[in-house]
Amino acid sequence: MKNISEVLSDRIRSIGIAGHVNPDGDCVGSCTALWQYLRNMDHFEKVDLYLEESPPETAFLQGVSSSMQEIGEEYTYDLFITCDVSDHSRIGVAQRLFDLAAYTVCIDHHVSNPGFADVNHIEPDSSSCSEVLAGLFDPEKVDLHIAESLYTGIINDCGVFQFKNTSPGTMRTAAWLMEKGIDFNRIIDESFNNRSLIKNKVLGYCLLKSKSVLGGKCIISSITLEEMASLNASQKDLDIVVNQLKYTEGSDSAVFAYETEPGVFKVSLRSSDNLDVSVTAKVFEGGGHFRAAGCTLRGSVDEVLARIVEEIRKRLGK
């Protein structure tokens, strides 16, 4: 697919859009960008956006306040598009509507994506789903608010151009979005620099709990529901922890496990060029990218960390 218009036939009157569970900046950025772009075209009767609760730092984006966090009456859309969703099981609140839709499209950048829609446009070399979408839009139809959403998504997934997934194409895309007049300094501050007191406390707590294993090649930490409650924190306050763990000198990998329900842990993985953590995540039916992946395991926190570390040990030994 070279342009989003290729999946927008004259027969389509209604479109649904959804991101993944526990949406991050790229998910919200790409979904809101697509929502705005399609609404601006004016010839669709219905364009709906479904997102679970979004991170507070994305609240300024157009479309966030209009997104739906639950399904009302079931509806059969002519077209349903997912953004930044790596697997059918990770479609958020609107999974049922995706399954009912007459035609489905998946737009993504995760190398582990198996392709679960009628049309799958996956660019694993792109920094983000937002960068993928930027390449599918007509540049002249990208207004200031769409540009804000795309830029927000890009910088969230490439760490403001610090991560390995930043390419010359990423920088060129960011440049023309800046030319649309976005306040990029404000977006960076909103996304990265302005943290709540709770986020800072959670980060400090998890860093104090961190341990070095595998001869310093892996840094691990965790937080349970009980510990989150004691800090008055939620999952939305955890997104910066694993990247900070990875910055530990000498480490090839970082593991952060957080409890989502009793005995169930989401595990976030990060690595250097020496380790493909998407392979480790796949062992536990997860997925992601070479240097950033995730999965879900059941058990006690010690059991979960031990299982993940053992898999990393095997990979480092190869």
Q: State the CATH number of the domain containing residue 215.
A: 3.10.310.30
Same domain, 171 and 216: no
The mean pLDDT of 279-306, rounded to a whole number, is 93
Using alpha carbons only, what angle is made at residue 99 by residues 93 and 101, rounded to the nearest 5 degrees? 105
Same domain, 175 and 219: no
Same domain, 25 and 92: yes
Fill in the DSSP letter of residue 141.
G
Fill in the DSSP letter of residue 45.
S
How far apart, in whole angstroms, are the C-alpha atoms of residue 19 and residue 63? 13
CB contact set of 7 (below 8 Å; sequence gap of 6+): 1, 79, 81, 103, 105, 119
Give the residue from 209, 216, 207, 194 showing the smallest Cα distance to 242. 207
How far apart, in whole angstroms, are the C-alpha atoms of residue 147 and residue 132? 13
Predicted model pTM: 0.87
User: Which of 193, 218, 235 lies at the terminal end of a domain, its last residue?
Assistant: 193
Give pLDDT tens digits for 182-219: 999 999 998 888 888 999 999 999 999 999 999 999 99
The mean pLDDT of 65-89, rounded to a whole number, is 94
Give pLDDT tens digits for 109-123: 998 899 999 999 999
Give the residue from 119, 168, 110 showing the smallest Cα distance to 290. 110
Residue with the two structure tokens 């639950």: 70
Structure tokens at 60: 């300024």
Same domain, 78 and 90: yes
Task: Share the mean pLDDT of the chain.
Answer: 94
Same domain, 22 and 134: yes
Contacts made by residues 197-206, CB under 8 angstroms, sequence distance 24+: 198/231, 198/232, 198/233, 198/237, 199/233, 199/237, 199/240, 201/231, 201/233, 202/228, 202/231, 202/233, 202/237, 202/238, 202/241, 203/240, 203/241, 203/244, 205/231, 206/238, 206/241, 206/245, 206/256
Q: Answer yes or no: is pLDDT of 310 > 60.
A: yes
Three-state DSSP string of 232-254? CCCHHHCCCHHHHHHCCCCCCEE
Residue 33 domain boundaries: 4-193
Can you tell me whether residue 177 is helix, strand or coil? helix
Same domain, 306 and 264: yes
The mean pLDDT of 33-48, rounded to a whole number, is 96
Same domain, 238 and 254: yes
Same domain, 20 and 136: yes
The mean pLDDT of 141-166, rounded to a whole number, is 95
Same domain, 173 and 307: no
Q: Residue 301's pLDDT is what? A: 97
Q: Residue 318's pLDDT is what? A: 55
Same domain, 283 and 226: yes
Number of structural domains the chain divides into: 2
Same domain, 25 and 104: yes
Least-confidence region, from 92-101, 153-162, 272-281: 272-281
Structure tokens at 192: 């990265």
Q: Residue 61's pLDDT is what? A: 96
Fill in the DSSP letter of residue 59.
T
Q: Is 134 exposed, middle or buried (0-12, 13-18, 19+ CB in 10 A)?
A: buried
Give pLDDT tens digits for 230-287: 999 998 899 889 999 999 999 999 999 999 999 999 999 999 877 999 999 999 999 8
User: Which of 135, 158, 193 lies at the terminal end of a domain, its last residue?
Assistant: 193
Percent of the chain whose predicted confidence (pLDDT) is above 90 = 83
Q: Answer yes or no: is pLDDT of 288 > 80.
A: yes
Give the residue from 74, 2, 4 showing the smallest Cα distance to 35. 4
Structure tokens at 314: 């095997």
Q: Residue 135's pLDDT is what? A: 98
Same domain, 205 and 173: no
Q: What is the CATH number of the domain that holds 11?
A: 3.90.1640.10
18-to-72, 73, 180, 206 alpha-carbon distances in Å: 15, 16, 26, 31
Identify the residue with better confidence: 191 or 312: 312
User: Which of 174, 193, 212 lies at the terminal end of a domain, its last residue?
Assistant: 193
CB 28 within 8 A of CB 35: no
